[in-house]
Structures are given as structure tokens and as C-alpha cells.
């Protein structure tokens, strides 16, 4: 009996201890959950504040510039209704020459364009730059400001014109804004340093023989102009310049890239319609209802079986001149080359090479080709082709009949 009571008492104690442990563990768990929830709430609150701070955009500093409120043609006189104010962020540099207005962005600053004339076409929304307009103190005469060519010419360069053919101008592929290199070929002949005439000179032996003297007089008195040089057998030789246009000496030719990175300004003639008349902006006429519907309200139908009259296309003139922008020194070289009769060819550059300058090339001569390109000199043969070709003019090939090749035979030369 006693042992049974002690056993029950031990079981009860064990159960009480287990209940206390369970209650303690549950209380500790509840305390941890409450602390974790409070921490997450604070973190969420801090995250919301940060998100709110990040969502607030930082104000960007801007300036007010003047832009076109409509498309403004060249020669138009501007009013404040033609322009408007546009905010420009300072993070991006404004265009050079932009017109600024005050911080109020009102029409007060727009008065600086009032009465000025547009020197170029201005697109709607395009920033208006100061050089696009005539000066404020000279708003009446656009001709006093200069030409469009002067406005488009890059600073530090000049524009010079030269003749072109479809061979020398890349088959008329050149357009304004292209960059070209200029190849030139020169012909050299040997001349007498004193007379500056073609070699060989003409020589006459001076003698006291009256018969020879009489023969010299028959040829003319101009033969005495020359210089004396020692002749054979102790005689004196009178050297006379060769005044004939053609001599027996063949000219030597060299080709080189002389001018690089010239800019095409115009292909063909510049417009000359505005030389002696003011620039007037004429609005496009509005079509009337009668013109749109035709006479009698119905469009006249062509007769049956009749072919429609084709609309003639305007004839496009073939350009024979080109204007190039280059340095002043290069312009002098081009002028000299034109005057001495050099063969000039323009070669078109890739748009990716527009900034490449000071290109170095080797001059090309007959010796250069035979040396570096393994061109062999043909041997002399006891036979030849008939008819004989004296000259093959490569340039005439592109101006004459196809297939002739510009060749001139010996018989044709004799007939001429």
C-alpha cells in the first residue's frame, strides 16, 4: 500500500514537471514571435520611407532656349509667333549659338528674334541658333550677309571650283558633303636651263666660209640668238633653242595623291536666281474647289482608246563643274595644277574615313610600276599589228562612241 502511494506521487511530480516545461517553452516561443514581428514592422516602415525617397525625382536644372514653333523657310522675317520657349537640361550642353530667354519662360525674351530674317530653312522644333538669323541691327537685307555657300563653308577653308567629267568625278556619284582625295598626273620634259625650251637644241657651226654664212642668212636672222659653245675640231658651235612645239623627246609622267580630304560643296552650278532680286517667301496657292472637281463639277474623261499623255520629265543638266572646300594652300596647288594642264581625278572617300587626314602615298611612275608590280618590258619583235595605233586617248573613250576606244590609226592621222 505504501509503495503504491509513493509510485503515484512520483508520477504526479513527473507530470507537473512536464506541464511546467511545456508552459515555459510556449511562453518563450510567444516572446520570440512578438519580437520578430516588431522588427519586421520597423524594417517595413524604414523600407517604405526609402522607397518614398527614391520615388521622389531629383529636380533637373534646365535653361530656356528658343526653338521654332513652325517650319520657317529661308528669307522669312520672324515674329514672336514663329518661335516658342523650350526647356533644355543643363546635363547636355546647349547648341553653340543658341538663343536663351529668362527663367520666367515668357514672351519677353522672344523679342530678340523679332524682325530678323532666316538665313537658312529652320524645321519645326529645331533650336534657333544666332548665326541662322541676320544680325539684329541689320534685319532688312539678307544679301549683305553673304551666300549660302559662305554659311556652309567650314571655318579655316576656302571653296574653289574645277571642271569635271564623268570619269574624273566618280561617274557623277559625288554629292555635297562627300569627302574626296585629289589625284594628279604631271608630264615632265627636259628643257634647256637657259632657254627654257625643249631639248635637244639646234646647233650651227660658226665658220668664215661665205657659202655657209649665206645659207645661214637664208634661214633667217633669228638663228643668231643663242649661245656659243666649243664645237668639234676647234670650231665654235652656236647653240640655238628649239622653238618647235613638238620635239623628239617623250615626256615622263608621275601620278600622286596631292590633296586629301577635300569636301564637296556643290556639284554643278550654284543657284543664281537670287542674284539681283530680293528673297520673297511666297505661300503655296490653295487649290480652289472648281479646280479640284474640274469644270462643270465632273472630271473630263479621255476618249476611248486614247493613250494618256506622258508627263515630260525635266531634263537634268550634266554637271561639268564642282566646288570643293580645302585649305588655302591646297587651293593654290589646285589652281597651279589646273593652269599647267595636269590630269586631275577625284576619288570618293568612305564616310568612315572623313576624319582621316595627312594621307601618305608613293608617287607612281613607269619605273615604280615595273619595279613593284612585276610589269615586264616587252621585247622588240620583227612584226607588229596593222593598222598601227599611234595614240590611245583613254579620256575620249568616255566621250565618244563605244567601241572606238579613242584609238587613232596611222591612216587616220595622215588624213587629218
Average pLDDT over residues 95-102: 83
pLDDT at 221: 46
Buried b (16+ CB within 10 A) or exposed e, 251-284: eeeebebbbbbbbbbbbeeeeeeeeeeebeeeee
Residue 412 has pLDDT above 60, yes or no: no
- The domain locations on the chain are 61-146, 152-188+251-272+318-377, 198-242, 378-416
Tell me which of 160-164, 220-224, 269-273, 348-352 is least confident.
220-224
Average pLDDT over residues 379-398: 74
Predicted TM-score (pTM) of the model is 0.53
Percentage of the chain modeled with pLDDT above 90: 27
- Give the number of C-alpha atoms closer than 13 A to the C-alpha of residue 390, restricted to the C-beta side: 7
The CA distances from residue 13 to 2, 3, 4, 5, 19, in Å, are: 17, 16, 15, 13, 10
pLDDT at 101: 84
Could you tell me which residue, 409 or 65, shows the higher pLDDT?
Answer: 65
Which grid coordinates are listed for 140? 532688312
The Cβ of residue 142 has, within 10 Å, a number of other Cβ atoms equal to 20
Q: State pLDDT tens for residues 126-142.
A: 999 887 887 765 545 55
Neighbour order of strands in the sheet with 252-267: 158-163, 321-326, 252-267, 179-188, 343-348
Q: State pLDDT tens for residues 230-246.
A: 666 666 666 666 666 55
Q: State pLDDT tens for residues 163-203.
A: 999 999 999 999 999 999 999 999 988 877 777 777 776 66
CATH architecture classification, 61-146: Alpha-Beta Complex (3.90)
Could you tell me which residue, 400 or 182, shows the higher pLDDT?
Answer: 182
Dist. CA 388–CA 391, nearest whole Å: 9
Query: Rounded mean pLDDT of the chain?
Result: 75
Residue 159 has pLDDT above 90, yes or no: yes
Could you tell me which residue, 68 or 274, shows the higher pLDDT?
Answer: 68
Amino acid at each position: 500500500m505504501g509503495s503504491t502511494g509513493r509510485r503515484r506521487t512520483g508520477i504526479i511530480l513527473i507530470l507537473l514537471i512536464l506541464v511546467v516545461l511545456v508552459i515555459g517553452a510556449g511562453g518563450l516561443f510567444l516572446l520570440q514571435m512578438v519580437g520578430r514581428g516588431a522588427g519586421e514592422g520597423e524594417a517595413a516602415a524604414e523600407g517604405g520611407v526609402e522607397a518614398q525617397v527614391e520615388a521622389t525625382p531629383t529636380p533637373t536644372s534646365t535653361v530656356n532656349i528658343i526653338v521654332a514653333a513652325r517650319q520657317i523657310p529661308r528669307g522669312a522675317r520672324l515674329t514672336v509667333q514663329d518661335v516658342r520657349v523650350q526647356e533644355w537640361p543643363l546635363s547636355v550642353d546647349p547648341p553653340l549659338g543658341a538663343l536663351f530667354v529668362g527663367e520666367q519662360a515668357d514672351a519677353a525674351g522672344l523679342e530678340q528674334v523679332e524682325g530678323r530674317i532666316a538665313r537658312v530653312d529652320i524645321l519645326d522644333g529645331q533650336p534657333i541658333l544666332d548665326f541662322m538669323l541676320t544680325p539684329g541691327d541689320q534685319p532688312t537685307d539678307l544679301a549683305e550677309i553673304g551666300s549660302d555657300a559662305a554659311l556652309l563653308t567650314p571655318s579655316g577653308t576656302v571653296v574653289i571650283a574645277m571642271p569635271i567629267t564623268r570619269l574624273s568625278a566618280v561617274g557623277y556619284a559625288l554629292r555635297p558633303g562627300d569627302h574626296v582625295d585629289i589625284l594628279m598626273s604631271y608630264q615632265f620634259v627636259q628643257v634647256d636651263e637657259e632657254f627654257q625650251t625643249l631639248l635637244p637644241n639646234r646647233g650651227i657651226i660658226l665658220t668664215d666660209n661665205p657659202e655657209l654664212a649665206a645659207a645661214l642668212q637664208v634661214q633667217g636672222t633669228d638663228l643668231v640668238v643663242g649661245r656659243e659653245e666649243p664645237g668639234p675640231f676647234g670650231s665654235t658651235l652656236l647653240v640655238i633653242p628649239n622653238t618647235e612645239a613638238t620635239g623628239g623627246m617623250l615626256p615622263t609622267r608621275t601620278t600622286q595623291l596631292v590633296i586629301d580630304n577635300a569636301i564637296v560643296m556643290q556639284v554643278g552650278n550654284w543657284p543664281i536666281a537670287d542674284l539681283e532680286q530680293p528673297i520673297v517667301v511666297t505661300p503655296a496657292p490653295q487649290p480652289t474647289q472648281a479646280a479640284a472637281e474640274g469644270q462643270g463639277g465632273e472630271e473630263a474623261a479621255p476618249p476611248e482608246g486614247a493613250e494618256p499623255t506622258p508627263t515630260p520629265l525635266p531634263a537634268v543638266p550634266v554637271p561639268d563643274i564642282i566646288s570643293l572646300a580645302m585649305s588655302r594652300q591646297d587651293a593654290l596647288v589646285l589652281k597651279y595644277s589646273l593652269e599647267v594642264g595636269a590630269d586631275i581625278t577625284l576619288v570618293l572617300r568612305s564616310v568612315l574615313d572623313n576624319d582621316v587626314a595627312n594621307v601618305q602615298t608613293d608617287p607612281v611612275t613607269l619605273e615604280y610600276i615595273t619595279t613593284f608590280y612585276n610589269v615586264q618590258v616587252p621585247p622588240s619583235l620583227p612584226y607588229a599589228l596593222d593598222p598601227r595605233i599611234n595614240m590611245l586617248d583613254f579620256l575620249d573613250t568616255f566621250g565618244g562612241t563605244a567601241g572606238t576606244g579613242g584609238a587613232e590609226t596611222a591612216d587616220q592621222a595622215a588624213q587629218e
